[in-house]
Amino acid sequence: MASSFKRLLIGKPIATEHQHHERLSRVTALAVFSSDALSSVAYATEAILAVLILGGSAALGLSLGIGIGIGVLLVVVAFSYRQTIRAYPKGGGGYIVARENLGDLPGLIAAGALLIDYVLTVAVSISAGVAAITSLGGTWGFSEIKNYAVEIGLFFIALVTVANLRGVKESGVIFAVPTYAFITSILVMIAYALVRDAMVGPTPVVHPIAPEIPVAGETIGLWLVMRAFAAGCTALTGIEAISDGVPAFKTPESKNASATLSWMVGLLVTMFLGITYLAHLHGAVPNEFTHETVVSQIARTVFGTGPIYFIIQAATALILVLAANTAYADFPRLASFLSRDRFLPRQFSSRGDRLVFSNGILALGFFSALLVVVFQANEIAMLPLYAIGVFISFTLSQSGMVKRHLTVKEEGWRRGALINGIGATLTAVVLVVLSVTKFTHGAWVVMVLIPLLVILFQVIHRHYIGVAEQLSLTTAAKPIPVRRLTAICLVSGIHKGVLPALELAKSLAPDNVTAVYVNLDPEHIERVKTRWAEWGCEVPLVVLESPYRSLITPLMNYIDEIEGRYRDGHVMVILPEFIPLRWWEHLLHNQTGLILRTALMFRKGKTVISVPYKLERK
């Protein structure tokens, strides 16, 4: 039943040899890898205005200059990542580039920063999508829907998780339509608004409840501009996704990935600057009373609350929800790289039934759902934690590329070093600005988590290296032949489930088998001995007394005693167990076999054999 449900949910398994059929075209890849970056235009302008409004109405005019500055940064970072794509056709995310060129520690810092940022990407995108839905509901008189924001967010996380478990190609098809619907609706809105405003003049945004705009707020100075710029840098999140996922493209991978990156940045800059300009022209500002988004205000002012407004809001909500897909494309892949290099558990490097890294997808879904619950699906509360990690990765990745150019000196290395050097410098400056301006607003949490993750990576790595060293044949000695095999069958009495175990013990060590029973109830011992004489398969029974009613201690002492008698021998412990038919029936029985296996697992030189006896349906 569980298997059938799994097949219904994620589909039939895909054979390994079909992996090349799961590659993405440019059109589909734009939807899979760019939804996060493109969707950020829905809240990046609002994030800038939310800071500038603290300086009063006079400060709001600075949004255009700040937006242009962010647009220039977007183009520079995109050109830098085109260099990375050419140099790393098998995938060159911040972790791989930084580790290969700068060393393990910078690589692990980049990896930890990206993993945290991917989790935040899902939580912020889903929460922003829920905000678009509640804005639409509030406009149409369903304001109560905001009370179910967390539940709606968790539903969407589950939906996107299942879609990604079905496979890259299927999830790409699922997400392509909403992505292109959003791109089309925003571009149409910008074009129509610009033409309309040029002909009849801009119409100011009318708020049902006027927002509070301070007449004399914070001083309009460098600090306020830096904070607004840092807030708007959320528009850059997701740019690195394409360089991480180059192997997912159809051949030629590098060429297709570079072209897709150029398309993405062109669309991103156009939409971001267009929305920022329209917000300035129409006076759209964040409203703490109505919680209506800036995009909603512009669309409502330009088109009214009719069908076109609904399409824009629906497309925005969908792209924000599905923007999480970028993280679902990259988090599992990055986790698989870390697992391959022995910095994360091996399970993250294994592909599931649908040729995707299922464990990474499930881990991302769990942690992002946890964030949505903790922050009550409030994306504004999570934004201060956002973008820090991605700019750490930007800086380390571009610095690594500069080092690579100077070391390898391939054709055009001077131009490449210059491009990546400018990118590294600008992203480093922005990282400092982000760290300073967002530190007291929650960014310190990310700065603490990244070192903790790096320590965890190193602990896991040391474990795997230690295991490999101990299993290596270079230090192995020729095994000593076993001259005497002793079988000890641990029994709790005599019943049908014990008989097969006794026969197995006799076949393995025909001349040296002993059954061991721990006497926890003196009143029953004579009955056990009587039944044993009839059904014990001619195996001698040793009764261990336990005055303190301990099961483990007498058994361990006896096993140690037997092992000490024969230095050239080997002890096998046979555990007969009956297995209930239904899972819940296990709760009705003592898990003695599990306890014994656990105790014996950590004792050197013992072989433990479990002999299950499966109960049948009556």
**Closest by Cα among 375, 387, 403 to 150:** 375
Do the domain assignments include residue 40? yes
Read off the pTM: 0.75
| Co-location of 524 and 403 in the same domain | no
In this structure, are 488 and 580 located in the same domain? yes
Name the pLDDT band for 106 (thresholds 50, 70, 90): very high
Q: What is the pLDDT of residue 129?
A: 78
* 475 domain residue, yes or no: no
485 phi and psi angles, rounded to 5 deg: -105, 125
State the average pLDDT over residues 52-63: 84
Which among 521, 519, 507 is positioned nearest to 574, based on CA atoms? 507
More confident residue, 318 or 70: 70
Residue 472, in any domain of the structure: no
Between the alpha carbon of residue 68 and those of residues 49, 229, 566, the distances in Å are: 14, 10, 82
- Domain contains 50: yes
Residue type, 491: V
Domain boundary among 464, 499, 515: 464
Helix intervals (H) in 323-378: 324-340, 358-374
Question: Nearest-CA neighbor of 245 among 365, 177, 337?
Answer: 337
Do 519 and 456 lie in one domain? The reply is no
One domain for residues 157 and 226 = yes
Is the distance from CB of 277 to CB of 196 less than 8 angstroms?
no
Judge contact between 61 and 220, C-beta under 8 A: no
Among 464, 499, 525, residue at a domain's last position: 464
Residue that wins the pLDDT comparison between 457 and 42: 457
Residue 405 sits in the same domain as residue 494: no
Number of domains in the chain: 2
Is the per-residue pLDDT at 216 higher than 60?
A: no
d(CA 127, CA 320): 8
Q: Identify the burial level of 230 via C-beta atoms within 10 angstroms of its C-beta, where 0-12 means exposed, 13-18 middle and 19 or more buried.
A: buried
pLDDT at position 18, please? 46
User: Which of 11-20, 188-197, 206-215, 419-428 comes out lowest in average pLDDT?
Assistant: 11-20
Residue with tokens 């929460």: 127
Helix (H, G, I), strand (E, B) or coil at 250: coil
Terminal CA-to-CA distance of the chain, rounded, Å? 20
Report the pLDDT value the prediction gives residue 618, as an integer from 0 to 100.
62
**For residue 470, is it within any domain?**
no
Measured over the CA atoms of residue 247, residue 249, residue 255 and residue 257, the dihedral's sign is negative
Same domain, 269 and 392: yes
Give the mean model confidence (pLDDT) for residues 125-139. Answer: 74
Q: How confident is the model at residue 263, as a pLDDT?
A: 93
The mean per-residue pLDDT over the stretch 18-25 comes to 60
| DSSP classification of residue 24 | B
Find residue 489's DSSP bridge partners.
515, 574
3-state DSSP helix/strand/coil % of the chain, to nearest 5: 70, 5, 25
User: Considering the domain boundaries, does residue 469 fall inside one?
Assistant: no
Domain boundary among 464, 493, 510: 464
Residue 471 counted as domain residue: no
Indicate the pLDDT class of residue 15, thresholds 50, 70 and 90.
very low
Write the DSSP symbol of residue 479: P
pLDDT in the model for residue 164: 81
Same domain, 319 and 259: yes
Quick one: 507 and 406 in the same domain? Answer: no
Query: Same structural domain for residues 492 and 456?
Result: no
Q: Which residue spans within 453-537 are E strands per DSSP?
A: 484-491, 513-519
Q: What are phi and psi of 362, to 5 degrees?
A: -65, -40
Contact 41, 272 (CB under 8 A): yes
Q: Residue 584 pLDDT more than 80? A: no
The reply to whether 502 and 454 lie within a common domain is no
Which of 487 and 135 is assigned the larger pLDDT?
487
CATH code of the domain in which 196 resides: 1.20.1740.10
Q: Examine the pLDDT at 219 and tell me if it is beyond 60.
A: yes
Task: Output the domain CATH number for residue 565.
Answer: 3.40.50.620
The more confidently predicted of residues 618 and 38 is 38
How do residues 147-205 score in pLDDT, each as one tens digit?
A: 778 888 889 888 888 888 876 555 556 668 888 999 999 999 999 999 999 998 888 88
**What is the band of 71 on the pLDDT scale with cuts at 50, 70, 90?**
very high
pLDDT band at 480 (very low <50, low <70, confident <90, very high): low
- What is the model's pLDDT at position 281? 92
Q: Which helix (H) or strand (E) holds 275?
A: helix 253-282
Would you say 431 and 395 are in contact if contact means Cβ atoms under 8 Å apart?
yes
- Judge if 441 and 489 occupy the same domain: no
**Measured torsion, CA atoms of residues 143, 147, 153, 158, in degrees rounded to the nearest 10:** -120
Query: Which of 383-397, 558-572, 584-598 has the weakest average pLDDT?
Result: 584-598
Q: Which domain holds residue 207?
A: 2-16+23-464
pLDDT tens digits, 394-421: 899 889 999 998 998 888 888 888 888 9
Coil/strand/helix, residue 288? coil
- Dihedral sign for Cα 193, 202, 276, 66, please: positive
Residues in the chain: 618
In this structure, is residue 64 part of a structural domain? yes
Q: Can you tell me the distance from the alpha carbon of 292 to that of 290, in angstroms, rounded to the nearest whole number?
A: 5
Same domain, 460 and 492: no
| Helix, coil or strand: residue 400 | helix
Instruction: Inform me whether the pLDDT recorded for 426 exceeds 90.
Output: no
